Amino acid sequence: MLTKLRTVTVNPGRDLLTGDVEVDETFYGGRTPGQRGGRQHGAKLPVIVAVERHQPRGFGRCRMGIVDRVNHATLRQFLVANVAPGATIHSDGLNSYVRATGGLYNLNAQPAPGAQAPVVLPGAHRVASLFKRWMLGTHQGSADWDHLALYLDEFVFRFNRRTSRHRGLVFLRLMEQAVAHGPAPC
C-alpha cells in the first residue's frame, strides 16, 4: 500500500518550476565495498535537486530526480521535465550546465572558488540536507535502491506542501489520486 501511495504523490499534470530556480547535484548512498572515495560510479547515486527561489528570501517548490551520471544530457533531460522554459537557472558553475541550459533557460552560474556551497545555492543544499536527514530519521538510512525514486517523490510531495494550512485537504488529494491511479507494482 505504501508503494501505491508513494507512486501517486507525483501528479502527472503538475506545474513546472518557474522564475529563479536553483539546480545542483548531490550524492546519496553509502560506500560500496572495494571502492575508495564516495563519488565513484556505483558508490553513490547522483540526485539532481531543483528549488524555486523567492525574493527577497524563502524557497518555493522543489523537484528531485535520480540520474545515471551528471552530464549535460542528463541535466537537460531533468530540466526539460521539471523547469519551465525561460526560467533563470542558478548553478554552481559546473560546465555541464552551459550545454544543458542552452537555448531554453537563462543561466546564472556562480563558480565561486573557495566559497561555501550552501552560500551559493542555499535552497538546493537545504532541500538535499533535509532529504538525507528525513531518510536517516524515517528509514534509519536503509533504503532499497529500487525504491529510492519513490522516496524522493514522497519527500518532494511533503516538502511542497509544508506550508499547507489545510492538512486534511492534502490527505484528501492524496486519496483522490490513489483512487484515480491504477495498480502500483510491488
Sign of the C-alpha dihedral, residues 14, 132, 186, 176?
negative
Tens of pLDDT, residues 22-45: 999 998 876 666 666 555 555 688
For the whole model, what pTM was predicted?
Answer: 0.84
> What pLDDT score does 47 carry?
94
- Location of C-alpha cell 535520480: 66
Instruction: State the CB neighbour count (10 A cutoff) for residue 75.
Output: 23
> What pLDDT score does 11 carry?
77
Q: How far is CA 154 from CA 5, 11, 54, 64, 162, in A?
A: 8, 12, 23, 10, 12
Please spell the DSSP secondary structure of 102-153, one letter per residue: TTTSEEEE---TTS-HHHHSHHHHHHHHHHHHHHHHHHTT---GGGHHHHHH
Tens of pLDDT, residues 145-162: 778 888 899 899 889 888
Spatial distance between the Cα atoms of 186 and 183, rounded to a whole number of angstroms? 9
> What pLDDT score does 117 carry?
63
Tens of pLDDT, residues 84-136: 999 999 998 888 999 999 889 999 887 656 566 667 789 999 999 999 998 88
Class of domain 14-164: alpha beta
**Is the bond preceding 56 in cis, omega lying within 30 degrees of 0?**
yes
CB 5 within 8 A of CB 158: no
